[in-house]
Amino acid sequence: MYFVLIACFVVTANAANFCCQPDVWEGGLGLIMGTRGTNDAGSYLEGTMSIHVDAVNRITATNQSLTVNDRTTVMQRLVSDYKNNLLYTMTETSCSKQTLGEWRSNCIPDNATESMGYFGLGGESIQVKNYYINYVDYQVFASVTADTCVPVSYDIVGRFGDNEVVQNMVFGDIKPGIADRSVFQVPAQCDDPPTFSTANSVIGRRSTLF
């Protein structure tokens, strides 16, 4: 299984000096990611995904198409159910589940450094707010729309567990609300496999959600 780091911001919503992303939204993104483990073995991943976020009910879903090392293509659907502390990973032939970490706010944290800028070219550009956030083991460079705090791009650099990671994501076609809530449904057979703990892993850090 392959998991993509999706930036989250560790701060309570009512304490944020900066903006908070919308509570309920969906859209798409393109990404590239490189990793290197302790044995210097590296991997390269690129792909696209659709993302669906419902912060009110603390649940997210993604449909991922990922190519690993220019060879292996992985198609999978992930549902992160934070109310029940479970992450479900589904493919055409299998389903697994892991425990999740705590739900975290979608607000820019107070320790961020803010600057203004533009994303795009000429008349197609939009004004954005850029944020640099320095965590203990990794850094996040986030750009969001200046007026609505909708995600535009994320760069994540740092260490997650035993892996050094560099990742870039660009968002598009972001819309408010969830058009079809069946994206959060999990087949009954997904409750049968054993549950693996991810409390100290990338997944436990809320890597698949916003």
Q: What is the pLDDT of residue 123?
A: 83
Residue 19: DSSP 8-state = -
Q: What is the pLDDT of residues 42-56, one digit of tens each?
A: 888 899 999 999 999
- Please tell me the predicted confidence (pLDDT) of residue 202: 41
5-28-123 Cα angle (round to 5): 115
Query: For 82-136, what is each residue's pLDDT tens digit?
Result: 999 999 999 888 898 988 888 888 889 888 999 999 998 888 889 999 999 998 8
The Cα-based distances of 56 to 22, 53, 74, 81, 105 in angstroms read 10, 9, 30, 12, 11
Q: What is the Cα Rg of the chain in Å?
A: 17
Q: 5-58 pLDDT, tens per residue? A: 554 443 333 445 789 999 999 999 999 999 888 777 788 889 999 999 999 999
For residues 136 and 148, the model is more confident at: 148
pLDDT of residue 146 exceeding 50, the answer is yes
Q: How far apart are CA 195 and CA 203, in angstroms?
A: 13
Render 57-122 in DSSP notation, one character per residue.
TTEEEEEEEEEETTTEEEEEEEEEETTTTEEEEE-SS-EEEEE-------BPPTT-EEEEEEESSG
Say yes or no to pLDDT of 142 above 70. yes
State the pTM of this model.
Answer: 0.81
Position 70 scores a pLDDT of: 80
- pLDDT of amino acid 145: 95
Q: How far apart are CA 176 and CA 94, in angstroms?
A: 31
More confident residue, 180 or 40: 180
Distance CA 21, CA 3 (A): 22
Predicted local confidence at residue 9, as pLDDT: 43
Element of type H or E holding 31:
strand 24-36
